[in-house]
Chain A
Amino acid sequence: MEINLRKRKLVKLSLKRIVRETGWSLVIIGVLTSGLTAWILIPSIGSTLGSNLTSYANGVATFISVEGSGSVIPPATISKISSIQGVQAVYPFVVNATYFVVHNFTTTLGGQEHVVPLARFGVPSAVVGGPNGFPPDLLALSAGRSPGNEPVFAFEPYLKNANPPQIDVSLGGTNEVVIGCLSCANITTTGSYFNATAVGEVAVNPLFSDVALFWNSTFMMNHLGPQLYQQEWGSNRSNYLIVKVDSVADVSRVGNTISRLLSPPFQASYDQVFAQDTQSFVTQTAPLYEIIGLISLVAVIAITFLVSQLVASKRSWEAGMLLTQGWRWRELFTLYSYYFLILSLVSFALASLISVVASHFFTSTYYIFAEKVTVTAAADPFYVGTGLLLAALMSFFASWTVLRRLKRMGLDGILRAY
């Protein structure tokens, strides 16, 4: 009778062994899971912390701001800056003042309390969109919505604490305001007074924090009329410039080049410390994680070898018995392959789950312009994917190791081990 060992039958036999030898299976799954978890988790932490930091860095640290206390930046300077190697884009825009109006403001002067019938408190503001407007792509909100074509604005969170109590700068708060000149020696106002409501809170980007309040450009044009709008926010009047640099590595060089181009009152600002920190993470910390990842790979191989030796030594006679019953070595290999493959896949599923959960406990904190930025790790799809491949390779390697050991023993040797 020709032995008919179809693959389905071998899978069924492997499953029975796994299910009915629960304790032994759990030990192997535990060992394999720890190895695969190490493989997925450790490099993932390094990789995702690195990439999150890099994307954060690309969002924050690759910007250089140029301003000179409200003075208009000469168009020729903007043109020179745009042609510096490593500059990806320049965003010139106008910053003017938005004055918060307080009626009957009480203040103390010379020890005496005075009531000022009309007080105005100015904050730097820009319009979002339109020519010479703040680039909409760079306006990140932490709450609320972007200002629309209506008397609403978005604001930097520090305004919440920095104003007199009569001013309510918080989401939903409404104030009487008026637009004015930022750089004028005396407070000059433009257009009429109007009530405006705060609808959006801007995510902290220290490099742009010189601009504290954002209007919609269409609303402002409607409110001021074309002539006044052109006068206050029009082209060739840019007094603020955001420079986007290709990469964090270019920031210092480009920043120095820009500084050399500028003369007072203009100056360039960027976070050199953060740029260097990011650089050092990429060149030092990330390779460290990669080395740990490689060590974990070696550990996985060692664990696989250990498991295969354990399986080979436990009931090796079983293989001998099957050979005497007409099994071929390659059928034995297939049986062991399915056995290890099922165990490896279960271990991989567990390792992936553990990695997804555990990675969230790994965070790194960075300080940028005294702002605390927390970056959370996550299971990297690349390492999860390679984990699956590794699980398959482990089952092949373990089966091959078991077979190699059994073949060395020879059939008679295997049966004598009983």
Chain B
Amino acid sequence: MIRLEGVYKNYGAIRVLEGMDLQVEEGKPLCLLGRSGCGKSTLLKLLALITRPDKGNLLIDGKGVAKLTDAEMDDMRREKVAYTFQEPLLIPYITALENVTEVTGAPKDKAVEVLTQLGLGDGLNHRPPKLSGGEKKRVDVARAILRGTPILVADEPLSNLDPETGEKVMGLLRGHADAGGILVYSSVEPSETKFAAQVVNMERK
């Protein structure tokens, strides 16, 4: 379980989160809905342990993040959280398949299976500069799925995807939640909340 208790996060003078409380449970996907700049990505980065709250506490499985050292936070991120980027970050000098196997250490056959499931069977050996935005997104999602961590945080996983591929991607992500994992994703489209068990509407401060 993830809990946020009175979390504040600023970027310089910009107040992004103010006293936010939230609880996410296993098996109940959470969607953060809101326009660009409302703080969705910041909240997701907090949940993915990429950054820390300025104030308040974030608890993962009852363990507060605020008092963790950097090394402990690194370990917790490594063990507990997989993250997909709003703009997929792929290493340009290796293939789509290698971006999964080399980065996550996942077995090749497993990686091929997931990528094929996401409709990337033909592009396995293409390097990122030759992939479309949607294809990159799917590689990024495959990478997160194959991490096999209990928490999966996805920043706008459906952007740049056609509805059919979006269904496939969300099918995999939901499968993670259905298997007892925690899924938090963000979206700007209200229609994409249909995959979630709970929705948090976020507004620009």
Residue B66 CB within 8 A of the other chain: no
Residues of B within 8 Å of A260, CB to CB, are none
Partner of B74, one of A3, A4, A323: A323
State the majority secondary structure of interface residues on A: helix
Q: Is the CB of B105 within 8 A of A5?
A: yes
> Assuming the A-B contacts A4-B105, A16-B93, A418-B87, are A411 and B148 also in contact, with contact meaning beta carbons closer than 8 angstroms in the complex?
no
A204 to B106, CA, bound (A): 74
Contact (Cβ within 8 A) A326 B77? yes
Would you call B85 an interface residue if the criterion is a C-beta within 8 Å of the partner chain's C-beta atoms? yes
| A3-B104, A325-B104, A328-B74 as given contacts; A17 in contact with B147, CB under 8 Å | no
A150 touches B (CB below 8 Å):
no
- Interface presence of A80 (CB below 8 A): no
Q: Is B124 an interface residue when CB atoms closer than 8 A count as contact?
A: no
Verify B45–A3 contact, CB threshold 8 A: no
> How many residues from B make CB contacts under 8 Å with A?
28
In contact, A329 and B74 (Cβ under 8 angstroms): yes
**Interchain CA distance A321-B98 in the complex, whole Å:** 15
- Please report the number of residue pairs spanning A and B whose Cβ atoms sit closer than 8 angstroms: 72
Interface string of A307-328 (1 = CB under 8 A from B): 0000000000110111111111
A9 within 8 A of B: yes
A415 at interface, CB cutoff 8 A: yes
Q: A325-B143, A418-B87 are in contact. Are A13 and B102 (CB under 8 A)?
A: yes
Q: A13-B102, A326-B79, A415-B50 are in contact. List 7 more A-B contacts (CB 8 A).
A: A1-B105, A3-B105, A9-B105, A321-B103, A323-B77, A327-B103, A328-B74
Contacts of B143 in A (CB 8 A): 325
CB distance from A20 to the nearest CB of B (A): 4
Known contacts: A16-B93, A16-B94. The answer to whether A325 contacts B103 by CB under 8 A is: yes
B89/A318 in contact, CB under 8 A: yes
Q: Using a CB-CB cutoff of 8 Å, which residues 364-418 of chain A contact chain B?
A: 410-412, 415, 418
A137 at interface (Cβ–Cβ under 8 A)? no
Please provide the chain A residues from 1 to 59 with a CB less than 8 Å away from any CB of chain B in the complex: 1-5, 9, 12-13, 16-17, 20-21
Q: Shortest beta-carbon distance, A39 to chain B, in Å?
A: 30
A411 and B104 contact, Cβ closer than 8 Å, known pairs A21-B93, A324-B77: no
Chain B, 62-106, CB within 8 A of any chain A CB: 74, 77-79, 82-83, 85, 87, 89, 91, 93-94, 98, 102-106
Give the chain B neighbours of A5 by CB distance below 8 A. 105
Question: Which of A1, A318, A326, A415 has a CB less than 8 Å from the CB of B91?
Answer: A318
Min Cβ gap B139→A in Å is 12
Chain A hits for B201, CB < 8 A: none
- Chain B nearest CB, measured from A14 CB (Å): 11
Q: Which residues of chain B from 11 to 46 have any CB-CB distance to chain A below 8 Å in the complex?
A: 45
User: Is B78 in contact with A411, judged by CB distance below 8 angstroms?
Assistant: no
Contact of A322 among B79, B94, B103 (CB under 8 A): B103
Contact A9 B77 (CB under 8 A): no
Proximity bits, A248-290, B CB within 8 Å = 1, else 0: 0000000000000000000000000000000000000000000
Cα–Cα distance between A99 and B70 once the two chains are bound (Å):
95
CB-based contact B78/A328 at 8 Å: yes
Nearest residue (CB) in B for A416 is: B11
Chain A residues, CB < 8 A from B182:
none
Once A318-B89, A412-B45, A418-B87 are accepted as A-B contacts, the answer to whether A1 and B104 lie under 8 Å apart by CB is yes
Q: Is the CB of B89 within 8 A of A321?
A: yes
- 18 A-B pairs within 8 Å (CB atoms) are namely A1-B148, A3-B104, A12-B102, A13-B94, A16-B93, A20-B94, A21-B93, A323-B74, A324-B50, A325-B104, A325-B143, A326-B77, A326-B79, A327-B78, A411-B51, A412-B51, A415-B45, A418-B87
